[in-house]
Structure 1
Amino acid sequence: MLLGLLTFLILGPEALASPVEQKRGVVYSLDGVSVTTYYDGLWQTDGDVCAATWGAGWSANQNTGIPTCEWDIAVGAPSLAELGTNQVVAMNADWLKSDLSAYCGKEVQFMKPDGSVFQFSGGPLILWDACAACASAPIVDLSAPAWRELTGAGGDQCGNLGTYSVQVLDNQIWPAVEGTTWAGPDGKGVPSTAVSTTLPVVTSIPAVPVPSTASGVCQMGTNQCVGQMLQICNYVSNAGGGVTGWVTTATCAGSCIMDGPSAKCA
């Protein structure tokens, strides 16, 4: 992993496309997967594709979350918004956290029901975040645009759809974070102490207080309804290895209801 990171820093992102880094097999696979959406990294420039379902700007707060694969960065870990991409995928939190350096940054591939391989227009899908609900159910979380393209959902529909086969390939797209070094999608290998010169430093983001009810226990990737507010538990600070809190992703015009592990506006 260290060799791959040094290659990336010295030679740039093109080095990762060399024969040395070609696909070498499947690291993890699931069948019968239901795909969900939990963020939209480019909604302000490319269109708010789920606005009709979850309200305009539903992803604004969610985009402030710090992905799990950036846990080890002491200062300056980029949020989803700062990454500026819709390629990030969130999967089984228990499995991913068992070895972040082994799995973070790997390519994620979906097979459609007809057997064809899904090709996202925004580029290869990359494992970079964790989902608690995905540890107990066959679920994978995507960006809204990736979800729409994969499912072929038209109109204003956004939600949960299945079933798909998914594979995590042994193909390193982004270098996994090592120590306090950030060398993500831009390939510049910026040390965390200098991130403020290129990326806004994220140290703490206000979160919605966790309700006192037992059902309101904040576990990464879980959803809940609080009145008309649709909330998700995400990272709100990278201090001390990651601090979670409830983030409101939408305020429903009508009511907020639970649909299995997901929350949605009705």
Structure 2
Amino acid sequence: MTEHPRPFDDNQALDPRSTRLRITILRTHAVAGQGHLGSSLSLVEILSALFAEGRFATNVTAEGDRLVLSKGHAALGLYCALAEAGIISHATLATFGQNGSTLEPHPNETVLPEGSVCTGSLGQGLSIGLGFAYASRLSGRSDERTVVILGDGELNEGQPWEAAIAARRLKLGTLLAIVDANGMQQDGAMSDIMPIDDLQGAWAALGWQVHTVDGHDFRGLLSLLAEIRDVCPDTPKLIVAQTVKGRGVPFLENAVDSHYPSPLDNAELDLIERLLIAEMRDVQ
């Protein structure tokens, strides 16, 4: 298996919000005893930057930016980000994994309006986001941004590419797709299963404005999100965020076992928490 490089270097600065979110994900997973952990951990800085920069609607009909988690199996990460942002309560978050909880394994807006949309069947989220962006235009709300988070493995499906073509044809400049490019699928590395050569070039050829960023650089993500919000109003945007699956837990990073692992025990949680806090202090 080809190793996906760890993007961090010593010159980058971590943000306390990202460290706190990563710890919340780990501890919520441990209490629930279940959840897609690796994919949630690779999204941490992406989610932290989006909630720090965005103005997200709290339900599908409210005004504001839209967030579609197309890779719905990373719902644990989204729920923790919603709790850290004060959009849902930590008491609600504590019900994740329990029978009758509104926090289902994949987002379901019929029981959790703050989840915006049901996702879970991979490949459909960009089409949903396209609809949101087009609806905002028809409603005269041209300042609303629609953000769709996809997995790189998800792009092995055909529907995202169809949506990409349509988005450019409709000139949906308020549509932003972010690919969590952690180089992994459920069963192994992208490079071993079905690699996508020159993802950036392919989407640029479809007429999208394309950017590549270290997906664990909170400040770089925040800066890029602000930079591209109001530019090229007729052109949809793609951010390829290079990440590490299982980021923050050394024995889960880049590992197939990180997809749906057993929860960490208390000693492991305490150790990982100390390591994460120390890493944040070292690079600030």
Q: Normalization by structure 2: what TM-score?
A: 0.28
| Structure with the higher fraction of residues in helix conformation | 2
TM-score normalized with structure 1 length? 0.30
- Could you say which structure has the higher strand fraction? 1
